[in-house]
A and B are shown apart, each in its own frame.
Chain A
């Protein structure tokens, strides 16, 4: 019971941090800030999914945790390349 309460508190804190990240997404000021914030939202999502999995007593979301890890990495790389070079996928000539 206490454990569950702790988990719920943790979820609340994670929520707050997602909101805080959202503030960064909206506010900016530069593109890199926003991408950073999105990446951070991804990490927060991983944490909250993990907390949910414990709360629900299920293993069904473990794949998702891994996937978000990979995808937020890919997404951040894509944005980074875009900001750096203006292109996501370069063409070999």
Chain B
């Protein structure tokens, strides 16, 4: 058990060692050779699982993390996770070998590169083996972060930083949505484990949160796997070093969304929303990616769009495969089981040929200094091995025999045509759309594959266009793509070995409810003349014609207005969002205290008055009130006059005097209500305050001493009146609602408890002395504050004088 975790976390452990190895040994040996060991060990370790997994066993390991919250690192090894684990470690080995020859030992910051790469590898392995939803999310975000770091590896370039930012924004938004979906799933099933959730699928499907959870999780999957319309980050991520593009953006990270969809198919599959979203978005992405790829002149961008397109293909197959869940075991269901099988098969195929194609582009870039097809031509003579690799990869991508892409594309067509015979989900009317779009997209796929091969390698060699002297790449650089190409060809000739040992176990975990027999799922290159084959022949014929006439119509694509692209939309939306946020903030954050006060007061009124009215809190009870004497009324009248004078006067001294009058009247009220201590204090404080006001008044700048009347503003009047009204109403209703007897009876025993005849003083210093102490500190702080303010000011003044 522990061994499994050691292997899974091997990338993280070695990431710690990389900087030291780089520092002490890089002068002798390229750091990549040490890094290579980690995926190699993992690959060898995971290969051991193949026989037992193929026999139908599964393994579960638990590493305790936060057991009190039920959060543990639970890993679950089944066919699907093993397929991904093997892809990650296998392509990882090859990519690291490639990077050893691609990345310069002296010029590049290799320690950073390999730390990020290993982090990514570990995160990806953790992601696919996790059975715990929250742990899965954690690894998911770690892949986003490490991918961000890798895209911005050449951080001194602006385009790298922008690409990284875009990828980060989009994938993290999706990841966040996915977290929400996961939490909904956890709430519905009351467990964190994916397998236990699958076991409770009946409960979940009838739950109100079923559709929201599905949408949220799909958002995560679509953003990560660059589906329409979230795919725009992938072409920009091509600013990363080529090994990164080959690894992350063709073979592993972009398949995390595919993994998620495959993993949750037993939960969500069978619902029409899931089918239409996954299959529909997949097919749209397929068409969009293949059309956009045609426009590109940069080889890496072409491959990026082709990746988007192929991911759409896999996604749509998964969507079609989810019909198997709908139909359940039986003839109809098993027809769509084949679609899921094709998805997994193409997933594997795509990793092999796309990885090799990216490496080819890297070699071309490395050897010629250019990767724009307008500068490249006739490389066939100078780079024969690279040409062979590129041809194998591209023909496989186009779906030609004898390469593995042919097999999966045939199965794709079969699955899509099968949809026309289905009557569920409104497919009887719209089912024809799928094979038609799929076929058109395949034609364009064929065309851009041909462009990729023949524009770069065909034609005449023009060395004058290139900056470097071209010669074939070293064997080390060619090794990894050659191995991948071998897989491409071998899979065509022996597809059933792969099918039996890896794909069928993976299929069992995607569709656990289906009886799966290996005889049904035999992949054969030739099964008679049928619709699929005719479609493929049509693709080749039409594609060839289109390629020959490409010069005439491709201009249409190239001149397609930039303003209508999704990229442009994103690039426009981001600054406009910033601008709008800024203008919104500037609109209310004016810097004027008056405005802020009016917000505070209006909110206060709305909240208090609103809740008073809504809760029927306005009830007045005047039965317990004391009677009002003439003297009281007179005092109130005096206070009113004084207060109005403060408001309406146009001289500040008058305002100060009137304020003093208000204070004196308040102390008179204290007398009437029999509070001698309060009256004393009020009197003193009022006088001191008046003197302080006079002091402040003296220090006003000369220019503004003569003020006019306070300017009238209707909004201020309304706010002030409503605040006064609210407080009055609140006080009146509170006065009428005494919930319990006051506790004054206790304080009346002040003499026997505290030896004091003055209750107020006994409360202040004895019963509740803490408050007094803190108020003393408040006064101390205020005094010190005033001292400091004045002192600092006079100090500054002195400095001014010396200057």
Contact = CB atoms under 8 A, between A and B. Distances in A.
Contacts of A75: 660, 687, 690-691
A6 interface: no
B664 interface: yes
Contact of A12 (B630, B657, B694): B630
Nearest to A88: B694
Given A26-B645, A41-B664, A63-B680, A52 B672 contact: yes
B668 A63 contact: no
B701 interface: no
Contacts of A34: 653-654, 657
A71 B684 contact: yes
Contacts of B691: 74-75, 78, 88
Nearest to B691: A78
B642 A22 contact: yes
* Range, interface on chain B: 20 to 34
A68 B630 CA distance: 23
A8 to B, nearest CB: 8
B631 A11 contact: yes
B698 A82 contact: yes
B713 interface: no
B630 A64 contact: no
Contacts of B661: 22, 25, 38, 41
A38 B642 contact: no
B198 to A, nearest CB: 81
B641 interface: yes
B631 A26 contact: no
A64 B680 contact: yes
Interface in A40-84: 41-42, 45, 48-49, 52, 56, 58, 60-61, 63-64, 67-68, 71, 74-75, 78-79, 82
A38 B661 CA distance: 7
B128 interface: no
A86 B698 contact: yes
A67 B695 contact: no
Interface residues of A, number: 39
Interface in B652-702: 653-654, 657-658, 660-661, 664, 667-668, 671-672, 674, 676, 679-680, 683-684, 687, 690-691, 694-695, 698
Nearest to B687: A71
Nearest to B697: A82
B676 A64 contact: yes
Contact of B683 (A31, A41, A67, A82): A67
A61 B265 CA distance: 85
B659 to A, nearest CB: 10
A55 to B, nearest CB: 10
B526 to A, nearest CB: 109
B676 A25 contact: no
A64 B682 CA distance: 10
A75 B660 CA distance: 10
Contacts of A64: 667, 671, 676, 679-680, 683
A89 interface: yes
Interface string A4-34: 0000100110011011001001101001001
Contacts of B695: 88-89
Given A8-B630, A22-B638, A25-B645, 11 more contacts: A15-B630, A18-B638, A19-B641, A22-B661, A35-B657, A38-B657, A38-B661, A56-B674, A64-B676, A75-B660, A79-B657
| 7 tightest Cβ-Cβ pairs between the two chains A and B | A15-B634, A60-B676, A71-B687, A34-B657, A11-B631, A26-B645, A78-B691
5 contacts: A16-B634, A25-B645, A48-B668, A49-B668, A64-B683
